[in-house]
Structure formats: structure tokens, C-alpha cells
């Protein structure tokens, strides 16, 4: 007997599956010289599963340009997702550059700077 999932668990599972599928599909379906430097960090689904924010990072390149490339490919990627996922509603995809790593690096730099200042006193 299968356990029935609550809405949050189902949403998380769908988001994880979308992330896995998109990671693979982007490599094959989006032609850009720096596409191999893109990593999908997370997927946030709305409660009704109508929209998905896909957060990505890049090792090299211009995030704004890549965001535009990915959002231009979003319609085609969504139709490919429709063929893979067995759900009634396949979300509209919105790609967003994830600034978490930059924020963490800046916080670390500020902490190091504060510690260095304290050591001088």
C-alpha cells in the first residue's frame, strides 16, 4: 500500500523531478557556448503548480545573458517537460540567477574584515 503524500511533499517531489529533468534537457536542448557552466540550484513551485522559478548559477559568463537565453528556451523546455512528467499542470518556467553564493562570499569577506580589524585593536 502506498502512502498518500500531502500537498507539500508532492510539490517538493515535483520540484525535484523538474530540476533533474531540466538539468539534463538544458544540456541537450539549449545551444550556447557556456551552457555547460550552468548549474540548476533549486526549483520553487507555486502552490497550484502553475509557475516554477528555477534558480541557476554559473562558473563563468554573464548571468544576465544566460538568464535571457534560458527564458527564451523556457517554452520549448516546458513542452519537453510535459512529455516527461505525468502531471496535469506543467508549470510555466521562469529562470532566475541565484545570487546566494555571491551573498555568502560577501558575508565571509565582511566577517574576515571585521576579525582582522578586531585583531589589530
Q: What is the pLDDT of residues 58-104, one digit of tens each?
A: 988 899 999 999 999 999 999 999 999 888 889 999 999 998 877 77
SS3 41: strand
CATH of 7-120 given 3.30.300.20, 1.10.3470.10, 3.40.190.10, 3.40.50.2020: 3.30.300.20
pTM for the complete prediction? 0.81
User: How far is 57 from 99, CA to CA, in rounded Å?
Assistant: 8
How long is the chain?
121
What mean pLDDT comes out for the span 27-43? 92
Task: Please answer whether residues 29 and 80 qualify as being in contact, where contact means their C-beta atoms are separated by less than 8 angstroms.
Answer: yes
In percent, the amount of the chain with pLDDT more than 90 equals 60
Do strands 38-45 and 51-58 pair parallel, antiparallel, or not at all (unpaired)? antiparallel
Amino acid at each position: 500500500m502506498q502512502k498518500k503524500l500531502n500537498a507539500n511533499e508532492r510539490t517538493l517531489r515535483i520540484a525535484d523531478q523538474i530540476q533533474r529533468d531540466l538539468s539534463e534537457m538544458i544540456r541537450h536542448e539549449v545551444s550556447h557556448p557556456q551552457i555547460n557552466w550552468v548549474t540548476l540550484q533549486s526549483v520553487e513551485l507555486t502552490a497550484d503548480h502553475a509557475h516554477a522559478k528555477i534558480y541557476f548559477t554559473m562558473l563563468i559568463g554573464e548571468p544576465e545573458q544566460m538568464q535571457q537565453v534560458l527564458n527564451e528556451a523556457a517554452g520549448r523546455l516546458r513542452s519537453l517537460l510535459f512529455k516527461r512528467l505525468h502531471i496535469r499542470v506543467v508549470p510555466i518556467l521562469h529562470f532566475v540567477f541565484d545570487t546566494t553564493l555571491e551573498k555568502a562570499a560577501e558575508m565571509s569577506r565582511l566577517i574576515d574584515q571585521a576579525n582582522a580589524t578586531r585583531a589589530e585593536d
